[in-house]
Amino acid sequence: MTNNSLDLIVENLNSDSAIIFLHGFSGEAQDTWGKFPDFAGENLQQYSIAMLGFSSSMWPDFTGIWSADPDLPNTAKWFQTQLNMQPLSRFRKLSIIAHSMGGLVAQKALVDSNELRARTKHLILFGTPSNGLKKAWWARGWKRQLDNMSLGSDFITKLRTDWNARCGQTPPFDFRVVAGSDDQFVPETSSLAPFPEEFQFVVRGDHLNIVKPREVTSDSFRLVATALDNITKPPAESREELHSEFQQANRAAIDRVTAAGREASEKAVVEAVLELDGRGARAEALAMIEEHLRANPGWTDLLGVHGGRLKRIWLDSAEESEGNRTPEQDAIGQSALEKYKTALDISQARDDHGQIYYHAINVAFLELVMNEDRAQAAKFASLALTHCQDEIDKEYWNYATQAEANLYLRNFGLALSNFEEALKHLGGALWKLGSSKLNAGHIALRLGDSQLQEDLDAFFSPELAELEQAER
């Protein structure tokens, strides 16, 4: 299936209800959704199912050299047109499921069309930057679609105003916004925060795999199936039931720690904290960390997890403020740095190679990205590199840490070789590669090396795409 196309996967001639899948930036319909439409066809048989593909690529919009992709207002008008032509025009009840930028297209179409709002019964947005995104370092303003969805753009500002005026606090359809627990591309401040809490959900996964369920028991498919299977129930009731289901699901790790109390092991507490954070309960996760660190101040892995939660909060807030950081934001970042340094000191006293390089490379990251101190970053990168090499049984994070350390030390060719070695130990965990790409991008930006930025993007983008294809 190519872009600018329609694929009516399942046609139920006895129903006037259809599920419409809409992909995101630089995606294609079939590649984006994986088994999602197949699972829907097998388990939601009261619906017809269609996928729509629109033009979106990484090629620059240089008219006369390459054909330019349409901007988001134009794409939204195209989306409306498709829904008003055969074969989709016969469906009077639409359930729109959109990913990433596709969610902006769907929102724009809905605020612009009274008729479409009346036909829409469900709108589910996965990882959609509804409040915009700070332009990634690789964007540099050469795509109109990226310009449209950038933080503070005219498009985003008008979309939020129009949405509040026409859909507001009580949309005329069943509505859900969904964030991935490991999404490092679209922060929750953009995917969830623009909407009331009752519409917000978190599922396991990163920006890409939240819409690639491997089983019908995957969070993302269960969320959709629960919503769409309850089409005859009032929307508010369905939302309450789904919230209750997700609150009860996957609590085993949390329950074990609660039952064990202070007798819980460090590993069990770390698992419970990550589970809580993955479910969007970050305040509860931080409270659990602090409770157990008071009793066990030498738990270096938990200290690192604490630093990681704070680092993520700082990165999200720093991105939203576009560099105009507040003292409160910097206090959070400095607290993350202190957690990592404390854990590093304890790990060095124990000569624990794995913990030393884990904490040292995070100290290096914050010294460069937050404090802009290249000398300190290089110092801690060297420490991490030494202990990576001392570890006998190496796995993905060892080689990825070596790669990141060599970026700080400006050994760029060696860094890329380390990343290639890390790939051999990835084991299909795409989120790890995505995390490495995010860190490497921040480092290259702070180093001010545009050639390094291009080299990293040339390495990571094809690798992520190839692994994603192989996973399907």
Encode pLDDT of 377-389 as tens digits.
999 999 999 999 8
Residue 53 dihedral angles phi and psi, to the nearest 5°: -120, 130
CB atoms inside a 10 Å sphere around CB 94: 22
* Residue closest to 388 by CA, chosen among 399, 376, 374, 380: 399
pLDDT of 69? 55
Please tell me the pTM assigned to this model. 0.58
Burial (0-12, 13-18, 19+ Cβ within 10 Å), 427:
exposed
Provide the Cα torsion 211, 223, 40, 75; round to 10°: -50
pLDDT of 19? 95
Which carries the bigger pLDDT value, residue 148 or residue 332? 332
Chain segment 294-322, per-residue pLDDT in tens:
999 999 999 999 999 899 888 877 765 55
**Residue 355 scores a pLDDT above 90:** yes
**Residue 143 scores a pLDDT above 80:** no
Least confident range from 127-141, 311-325, 350-364, 458-472: namely 458-472
**Residue 74 scores a pLDDT above 80:** yes
CB atoms inside a 10 Å sphere around CB 345: 12
pLDDT of 55? 58
- CA geometry: angle at 184 spanning 182 and 189, to 5°? 95
**Residue 328 scores a pLDDT above 90:** no
SS3 174: strand
DSSP annotation string for 22-56: E--TT--HHHHHTTHHHHHHHH-TTSEEEEEE---
- pLDDT above 90 coverage of the chain, percent: 45
Average pLDDT of the chain is 82
Least confident range from 134-143, 220-229, 288-297, 410-419: namely 134-143
Q: Per-residue confidence at 183, pLDDT binned at 50, 70, 90? A: confident
The C-alpha atoms of residue 20 and residue 40 are separated, in whole angstroms, by: 11
Please report, for residues 135, 177, 359, the alpha-carbon distance to residue 237 in angstroms, rounded to integers and kept in the order given.
38, 17, 46
Average pLDDT over residues 191-201: 91
pLDDT of 407? 96
Instruction: Please say whether the beta carbons of 13 and 45 come within 8 A.
Output: no
Average pLDDT over residues 170-196: 89
Q: Per-residue confidence at 62, pLDDT binned at 50, 70, 90? A: very low
The C-alpha atoms of residue 381 and residue 406 are separated, in whole angstroms, by: 7
Instruction: Please say whether the beta carbons of 183 and 210 come within 8 A.
Output: yes
- pLDDT above 70 coverage of the chain, percent: 81
* Residue closest to 339 by CA, chosen among 387, 294, 306, 297: 306
pLDDT of 278? 67
Dihedral over Cα of 160, 148, 463, 97: its sign: positive
Within 8 A by CB and 6+ apart from 90, the residues are: 16
Please report, for residues 46, 314, 438, the alpha-carbon distance to residue 371 in angstroms, rounded to integers and kept in the order given.
56, 12, 18
Chain segment 219-240, per-residue pLDDT in tens:
899 999 988 875 433 344 344 4
Chain segment 85-135, per-residue pLDDT in tens:
989 999 999 999 999 989 999 999 999 999 999 999 999 999 999 998 875
Q: Per-residue confidence at 401, pLDDT binned at 50, 70, 90? A: very high
